[in-house]
Amino acid sequence: MQHPRSLLAQVFGFDAFRPGQEEIVQAVLEGRDTLAIMPTGGGKSLCFQLPALCREGVTVVISPLIALMRDQVRSLREAGVEAGALTSGNTDEETEAVFRALDDRRLKLLYIAPERLASGATTQMLRRVGCGLIAVDEAHCVSQWGHDFRPDYLRIGDLRRSLGVPLAAFTATADEETRAEIVNRLFEGREPATFLRGFDRPNIHLAFAVKDNPRRQILDFAAARRGQSGIVYCGTRAKTETLAQALCEAGHAACHYHGGMEADERRRVEVRFQQEDGLIVVATVAFGMGIDKPDIRWVAHADLPKSIEGYYQEIGRAGRDGAAAETLTLFGPDDIRLRRGQIDEGLAPPDRKQADHGRLNALLGLAEATGCRRQVLLRYFGEDPAPCGNCDLCDRPALLFDATEAVRKALSAILRTGESFGAGHLIDILTGQATDKVRQRGHDALPTFGVGRELTKPAWGAVFRQMMGRDFVRPDPERHGALVMTDAARPVLRGEEGVTFRRDSVAAAGPRPAVRALVSDEDAPLLSALKAKRRALAEAAGVPAYVIFPDRTLIEMAERRPATLDEMAQVSGVGAKKLESYGAAFLGVIAGAATPLHPQRMRLAGKPAGALFDRLAEAQLRLMRGEDGTGKPLSLSQSALRKIAEARPSTLSDLDRVGDLGPAKLERFGPAFLAVIAEE
């Protein structure tokens, strides 16, 4: 076996290991199961490539993106290493060449996508060619709590067990919960040799800004860095195209990239970005994981990312050469509403949604930080650094104020309303707005009604946003976004701790722009929950979502909040068949479990005859054994009750004819039924 230090210089051209690399390489060389968390740009790939050259057999590298595999294989071949990849992007000739090299036992590193593990033939092939080590890149993809879950990663544990070889897993971002799941999924609970090599990228300048003409903000940021390679991340595919066009019109070399493009188009963008200096790519998060370009000088987020893990993974693509790099992340209320909606509309179980809301809160805490951003960021990953001097808040400290009293007022309003309402309703209470909703629930009589008039409604919105950033409150997905207090808030409520917030965020909170939303802020979480139910039903039936109900029907449900199937039948777009098929399911989302209706009663749902049917049924139940409760049991069929409710007879003879009662039933029920009909 060749010594790794000699190969480090001979093959890779490095005189020495980077900090933390050597002991990881040694653990992998010794055949120990290994988990290494290293910052992007910290040299993760060398930690499995170098041992692969020293060990017997082929090392299989499981990697999530074709671009990532191609880049690493190309770099290895240029360094004289026999490496290959089996991907869906291969030509027949490329695939044949890889299999020849495997059969000849020449190949040292074989890159494959996790999707290939679905085939049992892959395991047989790896056993046949003498696989001696499994390396997993971007290991956080195995975690359902992480920011980039890939279901096919769950098969890696089975592969490891089948081959009986050591496994080395690598990732750049994994909080404690994600690390625990990596250990459980990949190493089946057995503790690997774990190396936590720090998350800090001190060369990257961190900055956030509240959205204020975001297109102009991005154009200005790019203009100040003209000629430098950069990435702009956007929340939607459409925005990548319009923003790329705006950058081109401003004289920049720019192109867009998103998952809806053809594979060849995406590949052309990737190749251009690798080869051209100064190109800007405007992209969704589909771009970047596989890009090993060392001289990206800046990364901007035109929209708020999904989580701190996602944010750090994305900005980590800048400055991988160690030289100075810059970032800018824009955020605003609409971003937060979008991200909350994406969580609520997902099909994840409630505990996963709660965790995702907590992760979004952590990102808001970074966006609304009162001191050094790098401290907030690295504390999230379990580190406790000194102020960095390389972020916008170290450059220019934020204006702060004592928000203890405001937070206590807000928490009091949450608790006095039973933790059952969102920020919009709570702000109406605090500012003394006697809306219909406030009056109907008696909340204008609460001690907290009007106690927050010193702040405007937008300013209170900024306070609630910063409360979420401190994780004092979280939306409850099971109660349609109602804010619930966390344990972190209890010392503040009890007066044991004070709170400092940013005054600039509160002072800058002006009226919201006149953008027409589908529903009010209060109804948005319920609309998300209804969409999630629609999506699940549509997927189960194999039909487009709009076939179940169109958006306008769900919007009306969210606004009217029907409590019964009768009320549901009054919603536009809910016909008799759809009420029967889906009414109870959607009512369950809005109001909890729906009381099932007899099919005959269901035919009257939403009609005036429905209420009459219910009263007739009550009268029948009361008189089933006669007035004194000792008579022979008598009853009408549900069909007869429906006919009577629809016809509304006014005489005993008409009642007998419509319902076919007969003498005994007519005597017992007739007068009572006619009295009920007359009252109606």
CA 655 vs CA 27, 600, 647, 667: distances in Å: 89, 18, 9, 11
Look at the chain and report how many structural domains it folds into.
Answer: 5
Identify the band that residue 2 occupies on the pLDDT scale cut at 50, 70 and 90: low
pLDDT at 512: 43
pLDDT bucket at 147, cuts 50 / 70 / 90: low
Determine the residue type at 637.
Answer: S
Does 59 have pLDDT greater than 90? Answer: yes
- Residue 486's identity, in one-letter code, is T
Confidence of residue 514 (pLDDT cuts 50, 70, 90): very low
CA distances, 286 to each of 85, 233, 244, 282 (Å): 20, 10, 16, 11
For residues 592 and 616, membership in a common domain is answered with no
Residue 654 sits in a domain of what CATH number?
A: 1.10.150
Residue 662 lies in a domain: yes
pLDDT over 90 (residue 381): no
Q: Which of 170, 196, 222 is the last residue of a domain?
A: 196
Instruction: Fill in the DSSP letter of residue 39.
Output: -
The residue segments making up the domain with residue 419 are: 400-507
Has this prediction a pTM greater than 0.85?
A: no
pLDDT digits (tens, 9 = 90+) for 272-287: 887 788 899 999 886 7
pLDDT over 50 at 422, yes or no: yes
Pair (115, 227) in one structural domain: no
Query: Confidence band (pLDDT; 50, 70, 90) for 637?
Result: confident
The predicted pLDDT at position 330 comes to 95
Same structural domain, 109 and 182: yes
Render pLDDT for 8-33 as a digit per residue (tens, 0 to 9): 888 887 878 877 889 999 999 999 99
Q: Residue 601 falls within a domain, yes or no?
A: no
pLDDT, position 518: 59
Q: Are residues 164 and 211 in the same domain?
A: no
- My answer on whether 152 and 275 are in the same domain is no
Say yes or no: 251 and 301 in one domain.
Answer: yes
Q: Are residues 563 and 664 in the same domain?
A: no
- More confidently predicted of 468 and 259: 468
pLDDT digits (tens, 9 = 90+) for 103-112: 889 999 999 9
Q: What is the pLDDT of residues 431-456, one digit of tens each?
A: 999 988 899 889 999 999 999 999 99
Whether residue 519 is predicted with pLDDT greater than 70 in this model: the reply is: no
Pair 117, 146 in one domain: yes
Last residue of a domain, one of 462, 478, 507: 507
Residue 376 lies in a domain: no
Give 212 or 255, the one with higher predicted confidence.
255
Q: Are residues 562 and 428 in the same domain?
A: no
**Confidence band for 303, pLDDT divided at 50, 70 and 90:** very high
| Arithmetic mean of pLDDT, 365-377 | 94
Same structural domain, 27 and 165: yes
Of the candidates 564, 596, 628, which is a domain's last residue?
596
Whether 391 maps to a domain, the answer reads: no
Look at residue 344 and tell me if it is in a domain. no
442 belongs to a structural domain: yes
Strand ranges inside 264-393, DSSP E:
280-283, 298-301, 325-331
Do residues 497 and 646 both lie within one domain? no
| Residue 519 falls inside a structural domain | no
**Residue 411: inside a domain:** yes
Q: Residue 538, class by beta-carbon neighbours within 10 Å (0-12 exposed, 13-18 middle, 19+ buried)?
A: middle
Residue 234, judged by CB atoms within 10 A of its CB (0-12, 13-18, 19+), counts as: buried
**pLDDT confidence of residue 596:** 64
Instruction: Give exposure, 113-122, as e/b (b: 16+ Cβ within 10 Å).
Output: bbbbbeeeeb
User: Domain holding 67: CATH number?
Assistant: 3.40.50.300
Mean pLDDT for 141-148 is: 69
* pLDDT computed for residue 369 by the predictor: 94
Lowest-confidence range among 35-39, 217-221, 472-476, 676-680? 676-680
Domain CATH number, residue 473: 1.10.10.10
Tell me, yes or no, whether 30 and 146 share the same domain: yes
Handedness of CA 533, 539, 541, 546 (dihedral sign): positive
Q: What is the pLDDT of residue 470?
A: 93
* pLDDT-wise least confident of 77-86, 322-331, 544-553: 544-553
| Position 656 confidence tier, pLDDT thresholds 50, 70, 90 | confident
Least-confidence region, from 50-59, 359-368, 511-520, 527-536: 511-520
